[in-house]
């Protein structure tokens, strides 16, 4: 046998056309470099925001790989078809009468040449493409990939090795086709159909059929074997089995042709048996999760289901409530990697509503994940998701909060808060006392179990970071990845927290004042904005400013609470509609009428002054939001007066609503543990980055994304740079580098 193999090597080495073919295979390297250069030219001509939508070059092999495989397959085909064309096959059969032996003696030779050449070409194409990309290779894209993938990135080196090794399989396919067809021209046409025509036809099929069919094409198999997040639906074992099946089928066909001529059927039987076994592997059931939920269409693309959970998780066998779930299913053109669970903000927001309104933000993630959310037990939205235990009037109303000046006023505030809470609590005391975020986290765990998922990945927004932090504490082993956006995750309401928040809003107010100085359409343009504001607040604290015709007046504290949301979120820049509205309201209030504030506050809340909604307080207070008694209140108030000249006291508005609250604290503020969790990623804008960073600071390997602009809930609001970094993390589990920043897109001329 070894003598026959050595003779076949001598034949291969002496055939001059083989050398020219190997030289021609370098065309694949040039093709990869050329196409990458075209991508770079288009990429460089786009704005940073537009570049996020580019498709990744990946490892640089996709364009040149089919050419490389064709050349190597042609080498295999010529090793046998050239003998038929020249008549040398007769001489070979005289020397080796056993036809099957002659064919299979060629296999090690062409496989070895295919392996060596395939590896050289794979690394050559990669090196050429990355050289053209240069530093652009690490640029993040919206789908979570980078423009190129360097050897330092996970999965790239194994991918190159598998792609190169597949050159041996390509050469064996060519060998089998050459033995079957016996004609050089016929063999090359057959290989063109296998390696070019069929993959091209798959690309024009409608989705998701096209990508599914394309997953079975030869050139797409190496990526599905080695890449951790391939563009295909086959698992690594199935893809490997199919890659092996290609040459087995081809060689079986070649052996069958020889056997029929030589009447030896054993190779044919062996080949057919091997083909059947390999074909069964991709057909085996996948290890996909088994869900106990029944989904049905409910809102556009969103599918809905329901799940019963205990009202009180301390009594799991007790009374149950039903929560509604929403799902944006995976698009089905890539291998599914699991579930991303979106936790809505509020407290009281509906995650199903988020999926309906902001589903476009999840478009790229859905290539690999189902995106699931829910209407949590504390949802206050007026819609089909809201539990009917409490009336909408109860959830959407509450007392007006004032700053107490002494212990008696503090006690009176507590009595008012308690009375307001009891009006709601009496409708369902058990339910009312279990609206904390730890109970919400346990509901999420019940959803995970019902989904049949071993672990969940999370996107938590605003107050959704509080149940996210609770889940991380309670079930750290169930967290695959956690991205938190625009919240503090349950940071204790102490002096350090208040300093951070006061510093943040003071910086933002300074930006508002600078914008007004530079914007001629600002109602306060040409005036000292800070002085006008401080004079208004001081005057209103002495004598509240009336809302003419409404019987309502604003204190200085009311003005701060009403102004803060607009200061923090000016709206789309550079138009800044909410800053325009705020400036006009300040100008009108300074002239003696608070109607401007009352108008926009009432449009959002239904009240001419900011109300402390009981629906939010039900969760805030059970999550431990507190001023720490009267003495704690006095310390925090004095701190605000010391560090915040424009918004002193504003940070006390929410915690003061919990003074006298009747339900017990069930989820005391605490950060996630420092052990047992994967690295996490936090993102935030000018006004909430530092708060959000607190949540991940103790978890090793975690990082943050700082958005150099205004806004809140960056992922759901569609901030593309942030989404690109978050998707990269959720897909690969690799956090962004420390110090990562995103900037607002430049205004279009």
Does pLDDT of 581 surpass 90? yes
pLDDT tens string 177-205 = 888 887 888 889 989 998 998 888 888 88
Does pLDDT of 163 surpass 50? yes
Does pLDDT of 389 surpass 90? no
Rounded distance between C-alpha atoms, residue 158 and residue 138, angstroms: 19
Average pLDDT over residues 426-432: 94
pLDDT tens string 484-502 = 999 876 666 678 888 988 9
The pLDDT value recorded for residue 90 is: 53
The pLDDT value recorded for residue 228 is: 62
Q: What is the DSSP letter of 5?
A: H
Rounded distance between C-alpha atoms, residue 411 and residue 570, angstroms: 36
pLDDT tens string 31-52 = 999 999 999 999 999 988 889 9
Q: In which band, very low, low, confident or very high, does the pLDDT at 332 lie, cut at 50, 70 and 90?
A: low
Q: Which of 231-235, 351-355, 385-389 has the lowest mean pLDDT?
A: 385-389
Answer for the pair 379, 348: CB distance below 8 angstroms, yes or no.
Answer: yes
The pLDDT value recorded for residue 269 is: 47
The pLDDT value recorded for residue 21 is: 75
Strand residues in 200-343 grouped as ranges (E): 296-299, 302-310, 320-328, 338-343
Answer for the pair 305, 296: CB distance below 8 angstroms, yes or no.
Answer: yes
Pick the more confident residue, 703 or 21. 703
Share of the chain above pLDDT 90, in %: 59
The pLDDT value recorded for residue 186 is: 87
Q: Which of 78-87, 441-450, 733-742 has the lowest mean pLDDT?
A: 78-87
Answer for the pair 176, 245: CB distance below 8 angstroms, yes or no.
Answer: no
Buried-exposed string 384-408: b where 16+ CB fall within 10 A, e elsewhere: ebbbebbeeebbbbbbebbbbeeee
Answer for the pair 253, 176: CB distance below 8 angstroms, yes or no.
Answer: yes
Answer for the pair 547, 593: CB distance below 8 angstroms, yes or no.
Answer: yes
The pLDDT value recorded for residue 285 is: 46
Q: Whole-model pTM?
A: 0.85
Average pLDDT over residues 637-661: 95
pLDDT tens string 229-286 = 666 678 888 889 889 999 988 888 887 777 666 444 445 444 455 455 445 445 444 4
pLDDT tens string 536-574 = 999 999 999 999 988 899 999 999 999 999 999 998 888
Does pLDDT of 436 surpass 70? yes
Rounded distance between C-alpha atoms, residue 376 and residue 349, angstroms: 8
Geometric angle at alpha carbon 65, from 64 and 66, rounded to 5°: 95
Pick the more confident residue, 316 or 182. 316
Tell me the DSSP string of 437-482: HHHHHHHHHHHHHHHT-S-EEEEEEGGGHHHHHHHHHH-GGGEEEE
The pLDDT value recorded for residue 268 is: 47
Joined tokens for residue 705: 């994304």
The pLDDT value recorded for residue 396 is: 83
pLDDT tens string 321-331 = 999 999 999 98
Pick the more confident residue, 81 or 553. 553
Does pLDDT of 289 surpass 70? no
Contacts of 463 (CB under 8 A, 6+ apart): 345, 346, 347, 349, 487, 619
- Mean of per-residue pLDDT scores for the chain: 87
The pLDDT value recorded for residue 497 is: 84
The pLDDT value recorded for residue 210 is: 80
Query: Bridge-partner residues for 339, per DSSP?
Result: 370
Pick the more confident residue, 119 or 1. 119
Share of the chain above pLDDT 70, in %: 87
The architecture of the domain spanning 296-386+439-491+671-742 is 3-Layer(aba) Sandwich (3.40)
Residue extents of the structural domains in the chain: 2-283, 296-386+439-491+671-742, 495-611
Q: Which of 287-301, 686-700, 724-738 has the lowest mean pLDDT?
A: 287-301
The pLDDT value recorded for residue 203 is: 81
Range with top average pLDDT, 2-6, 72-76, 634-638: 634-638
Strands 296-299 and 302-310: antiparallel
Q: In which band, very low, low, confident or very high, does the pLDDT at 95 lie, cut at 50, 70 and 90?
A: low
The pLDDT value recorded for residue 464 is: 95
Q: Which of 96-105, 306-315, 357-366, 667-676 has the lowest mean pLDDT?
A: 96-105
The pLDDT value recorded for residue 395 is: 82
Q: In which band, very low, low, confident or very high, does the pLDDT at 287 lie, cut at 50, 70 and 90?
A: very low
The pLDDT value recorded for residue 2 is: 57
């Amino acid at each position: 046998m070894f003598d026959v193999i050595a003779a076949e090597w001598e034949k291969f080495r002496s055939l001059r056309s083989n050398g020219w073919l190997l030289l021609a295979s370098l065309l694949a390297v040039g093709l990869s470099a050329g196409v990458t250069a075209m991508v770079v030219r288009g990429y460089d001509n786009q704005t940073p925001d537009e570049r996020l939508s580019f498709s990744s070059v990946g490892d640089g092999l996709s364009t040149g790989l089919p050419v490389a495989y064709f050349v190597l397959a042609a080498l295999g085909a010529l090793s046998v078809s050239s003998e038929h064309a020249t008549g040398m096959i007769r001489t070979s059969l005289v020397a080796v009468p056993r036809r099957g032996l002659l064919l299979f003696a060629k296999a090690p030779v062409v496989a070895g040449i295919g392996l060596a050449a395939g590896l050289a070409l794979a690394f050559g194409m990669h090196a050429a493409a990355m050289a053209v990309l240069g530093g652009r290779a690490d640029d993040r894209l919206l789908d979570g990939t980078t423009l190129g993938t360097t050897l330092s990135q996970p999965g790239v080196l194994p991918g190159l090795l598998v792609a190169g090794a597949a050159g041996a399989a390509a050469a064996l396919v060519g060998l089998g086709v050459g033995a079957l067809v016996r004609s050089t021209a016929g063999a090359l046409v057959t290989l063109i159909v296998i390696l070019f025509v069929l993959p091209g036809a798959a690309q024009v099929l409608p989705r998701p059929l096209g990508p599914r069919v394309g997953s079975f094409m030869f050139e797409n198999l190496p990526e599905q074997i080695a890449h951790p997040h391939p563009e295909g639906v086959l698992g690594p074992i199935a893809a490997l089995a199919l890659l092996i099946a290609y040459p087995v089928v081809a060689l079986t066909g070649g052996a069958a042709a020889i056997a029929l001529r030589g009447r030896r059927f054993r190779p044919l039987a062996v080949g057919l048996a091997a083909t059947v076994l390999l074909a069964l592997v991709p057909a085996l059931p996948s290890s996909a999760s088994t869900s106990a939920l029944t989904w049905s269409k409910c809102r556009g693309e969103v599918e809905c289901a329901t799940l019963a959970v205990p009202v009180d998780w301390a009594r799991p066998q007790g009374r149950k409530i039903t929560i509604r779930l929403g799902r944006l299913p995976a698009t089905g053109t890539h291998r599914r990697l699991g579930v991303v669970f979106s936790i809505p903000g509020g407290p009281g927001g509906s995650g199903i509503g988020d999926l309906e309104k902001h589903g476009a933000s999840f478009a790229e993630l859905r290539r690999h994940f189902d995106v699931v959310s829910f209407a949590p037990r504390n949802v206050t939205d007026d819609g089909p998701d809201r539990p009917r235990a409490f009336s909408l009037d109860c959830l959407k109303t509450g007392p007006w909060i004032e700053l107490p000046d002494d212990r008696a006023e503090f006690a009176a505030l507590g009595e008012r808060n308690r009375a307001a809470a009891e009006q709601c609590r009496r409708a369902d005391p058990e339910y009312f006392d279990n609206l904390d975020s730890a109970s919400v986290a346990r509901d999420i765990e019940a959803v995970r179990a019902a989904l049949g998922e071993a672990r969940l990945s999370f996107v938590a927004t605003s107050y959704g970071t509080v149940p996210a932090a609770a889940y991380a504490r309670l079930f750290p082993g169930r967290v695959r990845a956690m991205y938190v956006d625009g919240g503090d995750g349950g940071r204790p309401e102490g002096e350090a927290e208040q300093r951070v928040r006061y510093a943040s809003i003071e910086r933002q107010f300074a930006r508002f004042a600078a914008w007004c100085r530079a914007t001629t359409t600002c109602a306060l343009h040409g005036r000292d904005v800070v002085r006008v504001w401080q004079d208004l607040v001081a005057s209103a604290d002495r004598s509240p400013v009336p809302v003419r015709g409404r019987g309502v007046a604003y204190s200085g504290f009311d003005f701060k609470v009403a102004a803060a949301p607009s200061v923090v979120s000016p709206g789309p820049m550079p138009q800044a509609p909410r800053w325009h509205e705020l400036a006009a309201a300040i100008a009108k209030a300074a002239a003696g009428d608070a109607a401007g504030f009352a108008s926009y506050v009432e449009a959002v809340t239904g009240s001419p002054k900011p109300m402390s909604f009981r629906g939010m307080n039900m969760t805030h207070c059970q999550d431990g939001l507190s001023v720490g008694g009267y003495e704690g209140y006095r310390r925090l108030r004095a701190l605000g007066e010391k560090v915040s000249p424009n918004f002193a006291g504003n940070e006390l508005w929410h915690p003061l609503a919990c003074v006298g609250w009747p339900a017990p604290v069930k989820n005391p503020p605490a950060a996630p543990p420092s052990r047992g969790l994967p690295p996490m990623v936090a993102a935030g804008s000018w006004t909430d980055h530092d708060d959000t960073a607190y949540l991940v600071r103790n978890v090793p390997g975690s990082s943050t994304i700082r958005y150099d602009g205004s806004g809140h809930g960056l992922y759901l609001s569609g901030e593309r740079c942030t989404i690109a970094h978050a998707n990269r993390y959720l897909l690969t589990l690799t956090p962004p580098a420390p110090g990562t920043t995103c900037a607002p897109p430049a205004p279009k001329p």
